[in-house]
Amino acid sequence: MQTCVLIIGAGATGTALARDLSLRGTDCILVEKGDVNAGASGANHGLLHSGARYIVSDPAAAAECHAENRILKKTLPQCIEDTGGLFVAVQGDDEKYIADFPGSCKKCGIPVQPLSPDQARDMEPALSEHVIAAFRVDDAAIDPFKLSLDNLCCAQEHGARLLCRHQVTSFEISGGRIVCTHVTDLKTNKQFRIEAQVVVNAAGAWADIIALRAGAQIRMHYSKGSLMVTQNRISQMVINRLRMPTDGDILVPGGTVSILGTTSERVASPDFIHPEIHEIDTILDQGSAMIPKLAQTRYIRAYCGVRPLPAGSEITNPARDPDDRAVSRGYELIDHQDQPEQVTNFVTITGGKLTTCRLMAEKTADLVCGKLGIKAVCRTRTEPVPDAAEAKWTSPGLAPAAWVQESRCKDPLLCECEMVPESVVKKIADSFAANHQQAGLKAISLRSRIGKGPCQGTFCSMRIMAYLYDQGYMDDRNGTDDLRAFLRERWRGQQPLAWNNGLTRAELMEAMHCGLFCLEL
């Protein structure tokens, strides 16, 4: 295969970059070892930062977040719920931080509106009686899956190609250039070559591994963050704890649920990570100081992601910052031409935040186009991203509304918790079939709400699998393996929350799939 730009990694940055380059008329291929947003891009709060979180620890990142917040609200309104945000302090929180907060926001150009504790509780009745200070900021909720899928669909409309479940195995380097990239199709184990004029490493927490294959050393920290999803939405707005960033200090609404986070723990590798029970306990205990009902509410699942933090940008020494809170959340764009390895057509973009993915893509595309001698300018700053039909089913509450309005309930529901009907599963499976791919349960769940309700896939997994076979989307004997893989993935998020109702659901899942169907044998 040949292309102008090969992008490695289909997360928020890789897909935004594919769109940016495509709009500049540049041909590109995205190679992804898992699926879209398989890493941190799919395992975060879905928060569109106002920037206020970083005013003390990282003022530059704060200002960037603020600017991008404005741009994305205009260009991607379909992915954003403009909830607004609150920063609240409770009794015992650092009074100096509270006093300095509005001034620091203003210094970074971030709008902030002081509120009395009563005003804040009027806006958000779930807030603690012990709130002593509150400010309103421009935070919003953003659907990270729809964001990446919309960017990707736009890029594909302009000719970009995506290869999921394809892994970069090696680079052929000659005369200081990557002349060819070796890629393995992880399904068939077939190997092939991609010749590209420029290769961009947008592999997130795996960027150092990719760089190493081109002989480049990137020093990175892996910072794991765990989060939990509530069964019902707890607040209308994003609620932040008004203090230096630490565990359990943010609650972000997302459609019909809320997401409570997060931790920050240094891990040795971005693979094989789990949300741990002690993290869940910490988040819960901290979060309920701000919003007491978080201690009692029902939770659906936990998940975690790994932030790739560039180690070159440490602000303090590690001994004083054991959980990497002070490491810059800014991005790092590396031109490997200027590095010791001197590879002229290799670029790495890493670090950063979901909120700044467009900016990261723009800066990367500028560098890439410079290398290619392309004069076209960036269009993503002002041009809206089309609302892609293929990407609309990730949004909580959309499928039920469409089911009631469009099909008048005549379309059988395969996922009854989130009310996802046959027609939605069919549309997603068709989009895979159009690319000669087989849609498994995990791929469908990434593109819809299946398995995301209280049953966590216990019932819908079997119904959808049976449907996929009946409609001919699947015909081999891999179905039960796919079922196992899907249930295992759901379990990862259930296991640390398995007390009270969570334990009842876990027992039901095991009773059905082990007790009756013997999937463990």
Q: Which residues bind other proteins (CB under 8 A)?
A: 274, 277-278, 281, 284, 410, 412, 414, 459, 462-463, 465-470, 472, 474-477, 479-480, 483-484, 487-488, 491-492, 495, 498-500, 503-504, 506-521
Q: Which amino acid is at 105?
A: C
Which residue, 319 or 521, has its beta carbon nearer to other proteins? 521
Strand 191-201 versus strand 346-351 pairing type:
parallel
- Candidates 249, 366, 223; CA nearest to 306 is 223
Which residue, 129 or 520, has its beta carbon nearer to other proteins? 520
Q: Which residue has the tokens 């819960």?
A: 284
Which residue, 375 or 408, has its beta carbon nearer to other proteins? 408
CA distance 54 to 279: 22
CB of 518 to other proteins, least distance (A): 5
Which residue, 377 or 511, has its beta carbon nearer to other proteins? 511
CA distance 468 to 108: 52
Which residue, 108 or 450, has its beta carbon nearer to other proteins? 450
Q: Which residue has the tokens 């005369």?
A: 175
Which residue, 182 or 492, has its beta carbon nearer to other proteins? 492
CA distance 286 to 281: 8
Which residue, 446 or 474, has its beta carbon nearer to other proteins? 474
CB of 296 to other proteins, least distance (A): 10
For the beta carbon of residue 389, count every other beta carbon within 10 angstroms: 10
Contact by Cβ (8 Å): 413, 420: yes
CB of 428 to other proteins, least distance (A): 17
* DSSP string for residues in 313-371: G-SS-GGG-TT-TTS--SEEEEETTSSTT--TTEEEEEE--GGGHHHHHHHHHHHHHHH
> In the structure encoding, which two tokens stand for residue 381, read together?
């700053």
Contact by Cβ (8 Å): 337, 379: no
CB of 450 to other proteins, least distance (A): 13
> In the structure encoding, which two tokens stand for residue 39, read together?
């890493």
CB of 299 to other proteins, least distance (A): 11
